[in-house]
Structure 1
Amino acid sequence: DFIVTERADPVVEPGIQSSHVHSVIGGSNFDLITNTSYLQQSECTSAQIKEDKSNYWFPHLYFQWANGTFSSLTGGAVTYAGSATAFPDNFRMVSGDPMLRTWDESSKAQQAVSFNCLDFEGTSVTYNWLPSVNCPSGIRAQINFPMCWDGKNTDSDDHKSHVAFPSGGPDSGTCDDPAFPVTLPRIFIEVYWASGDWASKWGEAMNTTQPFVFANGDPTGFGYHADFINGWEDDKLQNLMDQCGQCTSQAYGGIDCCYDKGVVTKNEDANNCKIDSHFDEQVTGNLATLPGNNPVTYVSGAPMGAAASASAPASSAAAPASSSTESAAPSASAPAGNANIVVPHRGHHHNRLAHTRRGSF
């Protein structure tokens, strides 16, 4: 589950109410200003592994009605980590740029973002932008984080310059740049949004071609982004990668094998970890404006113009997801799902273990 949805961002806008809404997963000590030692003291976490008290967050998704008002979507998130050197204390980083509204296929940072248009009865197709077609089984927003580190700085002014993507792209290759020689765990976050519940409402939308808008006013998906602050308990992540990558009972080092070996602890209460918002502000349900009064902007920041010039999917098809979704009428109910972490064998950074989502989305 998301532990909270609110206007907070302790990496980019620490100590204040942030400019747009994020949904947060991970440790319960998520706060406006935080660090590793404080996160490690969290009473609970929404991660599948109890020892992962890190926080991960990303913009919430809304439907924009023809009259300019908004309604929030329901969703849930899953995280994955690959094997390498564990994050140092107080390490934090950002992937993606909330201001982008155009596509640059040469950018590894933009290649790191994709949207899987799910169709469990047919073929799921992946795009690098929000799909302009109805996705019957929902939209899965996907983002990779950089996994090459300079080995010195736990943060940088833009929260990006201390890290880089590997040589082969956002999810493959090696850290062969001498400026970023240290391989970090690869973080990959999937956020499921129940967009299929809104299929009958497209004709009532402000933009009937693509009606969804992220909290930062982005209707294109090019401005999708996510943040991370390390909150793993001491040595647990390194032990996880060192020992679980050698498990052979499941493909790519199944997480159950890690539990069986006692390396980490399965979190049976992940879906029950919730915290109160730091602010008395309605950010989900039916809203007159996006929280923070963010305008909906298209190409070059122009409000309510023609959609970004993107018409073809990034890849022709992807295998349909193996999990199912319980569809419901559009509502302002709280999002549901869970955060999982799986560990591939070393040398398989681009692969990830099949996962099971608990509960209904």
Structure 2
Amino acid sequence: MPPAECPFCEIVDRSDPDVREVYRDANVVAFFPTDPAVLGHTLVIPRRHVPDIWSLRTEEAAQLSAAVLRLAEAIRAAVVPEGFNIIQSNGAAATQTVSHLHVHLVPRNDADAMGPIWPQETDYSEDRKDDVLNRVKSAVSSLKPVEPEVSPEDRRKHLDYIQAVVTRQSAASASAKGWLLPVVTALFGFALTQHVWLLALLGMFLIAVFAYIDANYLRSEKAYRALYNAVSRSERMVPRFTLDPTDAHEPQCGDAPAAAKWKVLRDKYLPPREVWTSWSIAPFYSAMLLLGVGVAVTAAFTADKAAIPLPHGPTMTTTVVSTVPASPAPVPAQPKSPPP
């Protein structure tokens, strides 16, 4: 059953208005089935679409088990049953009717509607039981070892790595503003002094580009801060030393994203509204853009004034007479007297 058709995924997505929801957190949802076997019968499901127990991740199993224990305690306090069944079925042969892993919490009383759920007796031979025992033990020995719990020292190192990324993102945001100011100041100055409003438009374009870059820095910083909080508060189990901020996100119902590709691209490359309207983005870049509009209008106005021709009066002709001294006339050569 694909996630889009899963009735339990609809409950996770809050798309079922008739559901009797009991509990919800970042990892699981608990609710009453439409037709409970007994009063207090509760289903607990992981938020991610998991068809069966073999598809469940280790951290999800721990989260689901913790929720089952909490809810079993609450149901016992509320209903005060004589007994309690915790049932988890996988496959049609085991009576699983919805292909989304779920755990039944069933408070029991004598002579309730459930009745016995186990056969009275079986007649398997000792050889068959021993054969299955050996096969199961062999399969267990081939399993991967369980990873040890994260030590406080490893958690501290993980937090240090995440904090280093947060610091770099914050520094990059400050650098973006530092690079923008001298460039835009020069463009706006030339636009005013040279009366070229297109330079002001170029400066406004650069402001928009740097605003987008800075907003993405801030979005990334917020994502890593969320990862930091998830690790420090142990809100959910995340991979060891992960630096992928999506590991801090709430699990989605379904392995494949239900959104269209364009929505995935939008979420990946376009910062959300709360980032754009934050104090580090909206006031700074809005003021810069307004300044750019003022510079562009001023440059265009002064350019028009400079292009207006001077008014023409009566035509006056001024004659400038230059007196150039005449060259002296050449003196005729005197004939030489013959010697006496």
Q: Which has the higher helix share?
A: 2
The structure number with the bigger radius of gyration is 2
Place the TM-score, normalised by the shorter chain, in its bin. Answer: under 0.3
Q: TM-score, normalised by structure 2?
A: 0.18
Q: TM-score, normalised by structure 1?
A: 0.17
Query: Greater relative contact order (Cα 8 A, min sep 6): structure 1 or 2?
Result: 1
